[in-house]
Amino acid sequence: MKARINVNSIKDKAMSSKKIENKADSIVAKKTEDASRFFIKEFDAHPVTKEIEGGQDASNSSGTLGGKGNLFSFIGFNMGDQPVKNLRSFIQSEFNFKRIKKEKKVILYKINYPTLDKIKSITPMPWENGRSWVEGVEKGISGLSQYIYKKFIAASRSGSAVQNKNLSNGKIFKPKKYMSEIIKKFKENFKWRLN
């Protein structure tokens, strides 16, 4: 006795199963979590993150200021500010996924992650409206020649530096790739995993 099996029909029924949908959601959720973990690991390991998180007493391990002072006080954060903690929370909140299309044999998802534009929008300079400190680290921040690093108790926002308005702007801040570098690494590392 011969029998015919309609394989396409079986596939169609399988794809319409709630169990298959739930399994697919579970796989994508895991991949999204892995992606977030990778991103945060790169973020936490970056010299700029470490230096700013070190606060007003940190060394200039990023090399942006020629080894003198630190980014926390140079950017002008206030004592007690936690710019890295705030940015880390934002990054984690940006990772999510959404099922956008379901066809007979394919389920499509959109995985969201933090973009550079969004990061810039939530990292304003403490003293300069319309500019992001993340962008400043990457493209340059003026005022190095006016920056004097020294322990101050109440003379400055950060508690460890003041601006000297009598000096000319001759020295140069050395920009450093930061979030753009992390996002690039993330995309390269997870391109194959998200397919």
- Give the C-alpha separation, 36 to 63, whole Å: 27
> 136 Cβ partners below 8 Å, 6+ apart?
75, 125
pLDDT of residue 8: 54
> 161 Cβ partners below 8 Å, 6+ apart?
56, 69, 73, 74, 147, 148, 149, 150, 152
For residues 65 and 13, the answer to whether their CB atoms sit within 8 Å is no
pLDDT of residue 153: 47
pLDDT of residue 173: 85
Q: What residues in the chain have per-residue pLDDT under 50? A: 1-7, 10, 153, 160-170, 194-195
- Give the C-alpha separation, 119 to 151, whole Å: 31
Cα–Cα distances in angstroms (integers) from residue 113 to residues 61, 101, 149, in the given order: 28, 19, 37
